[in-house]
Amino acid sequence: MTRIGDSSVLLEAERLALQVGERWLCCEFSLRLAAGECLVLLGPNGAGKTTLLHTLAGLRAPTVGSVRLGGRSYADWDSLVAARLRGLLAQQQPDHFSASVLQTALIGRHPHLGRWGWETAADIAIAQAALAEVGLAEFAGRDVLSLSGGERQRVSIATLLTQAPRLFLLDEPTNHLDLHYQIAVLELFARLKREGCGVVMVLHDINLATRFADHVILLDGKGGVLAGAREEVLQADHLSRAFDHPIRRLDVGERILFIPD
Ligand SMILES: Nc1ncnc2c1ncn2[C@@H]1O[C@H](COP(=O)(O)OP(=O)(O)OP(=O)(O)O)[C@@H](O)[C@H]1O
């Protein structure tokens, strides 16, 4: 029997090009992400990283080309089934009402619930384990409206872990996080990647991209796209051009660092 997401290729985009209004964000390029791989989207503000991530998540149609999740176009997936396969961490988390941290994390179980929509003890255990993964085990009863920015971001990550997709699409997962949690969260997704998940994430920190990416897509904000293996794309001259600022590479022991001049 074939289970959802058994295929090792989780995400494909063919000859993709994106336009907003009159402006082309990226010219045609293709990508393929297999289980066990991490793709980082980099580029200056307004270059189109979030638009590209949302297109890969099936939330908007590409202007040109196609996107396939687990070998099928989004139109061919039932939306609940697709939500068990891919999950999105959005950049903003609007909270309009009071809700406990546990209730908020449990939203991630919606694609998995049965006909009556009640969470079981197993669903609650999954959400509690996810909260513990991001250091929020003690926060389960707290109101989300009372959390700090970094704590709220970790609840969003726990909600996504509770959803337990095979493909994680993350828009600036390190937003609001202190240094400890930036690394802890990226290490957590690196572990999930080793366990057979796929990860696509928007990052602003080139050095975190250097550390965690297998593949990189660098948008230059003028429609140009450089896509390839980390070592091919993350070069000082490519980065300097894309960010319109001189960037220098430093080799520190085993680490490669990029610093702005
Ligand atoms: N509906 C829209 N109408 C007009 N322009 C839009 C629309 N949606 C997005 N844009 C523009 O498209 C561009 C790409 O936006 P996007 O959010 O994808 O950029 P980004 O690379 O994620 O930026 P940032 O690093 O600032 O988060 C921006 O210039 C944005 O203003």
Per the DSSP assignment, residues forming a β-bridge with 219 are: 225
Q: What are phi and psi of 73, to 5 degrees?
A: -70, 155
pLDDT, residue 76, reads 96
Q: Is 180 a residue whose pLDDT tops 50?
A: yes
Structural domains in the chain plus CATH codes: 9-92+165-260 (3.40.50.300)
Q: What is the mean pLDDT of residues 29-48?
A: 96
Kindly give the distance from the C-alpha atom of residue 17 to the centroid of ligand 1, in angstroms, as a whole number. Answer: 15
Mutate which of 23, 50, 201 for ligand 1 pocket (most atoms within 8 A of beta carbon): 50
Interface TM-score (ipTM) > 0.95: yes
User: In DSSP terms, which residues pair with 257 in a beta bridge?
Assistant: 250
Q: Which of 81, 119, 79 is nearest to 100 (CA)?
A: 119
Nearest ligand 1 atom, CA 204: 25
144-165 pLDDT per residue, tens: 999 999 999 999 999 999 999 9
pLDDT at 6 over 60: no
pLDDT attached to residue 144: 96
pLDDT in tens, 56-89: 999 999 999 999 999 999 999 999 999 999 999 9
The angle, 0 to 180 degrees and rounded to 10, between the axes of the packed helices 149-163 and 179-194 is 10
Nearest to 130, CA basis, from 153, 110, 159, 103? 159
Six token digits for residue 162 = 């509770």
Sign of CA dihedral 166, 167, 170, 173: positive
- Ligand 1 centroid–CA 245 distance in Å is 21
> Distance from the CA of 20 to the center of ligand 1, in angstroms?
8
What number of other Cβ atoms are within 10 A of residue 244's Cβ? 10
Atom of ligand 1 nearest to the CA of 43: 21
Instruction: Report the pLDDT averaged over residues 125-150.
Output: 97
Instruction: Print the SS3 string covering 173-205.
Output: CCCCCCHHHHHHHHHHHHHHHHCCCEEEEECCC
Ligand 1 atom 10: residue of nearest CA: 20
Average of per-residue pLDDT across 132-150: 97
Q: Token digits for 142? A: 């707290």
Cα separation, 249 vs 134, in Å, equals 32
Residue closest to 98 by CA, chosen among 131, 147, 163, 134: 147
- For 71-80, the CB contacts below 8 A with 24+ separation are 71/7, 71/9, 71/12, 80/111
Q: pLDDT tens digits, residue range 80-130? A: 999 999 999 999 888 889 999 999 999 999 999 977 778 889 999 999 999
Residues with CB under 6 A from ligand 1: 20-21, 25, 43, 45-51
Instruction: Check residue 1 and give its pLDDT.
Output: 33
CB count in 10 Å sphere of residue 94: 5
* Closest residue to atom 8 of ligand 1, CA basis: 20
| pLDDT for residue 96 | 84
Residue 2 has pLDDT above 50, yes or no: no
* Distance (Å) from CA 90 to ligand 1 centroid: 14
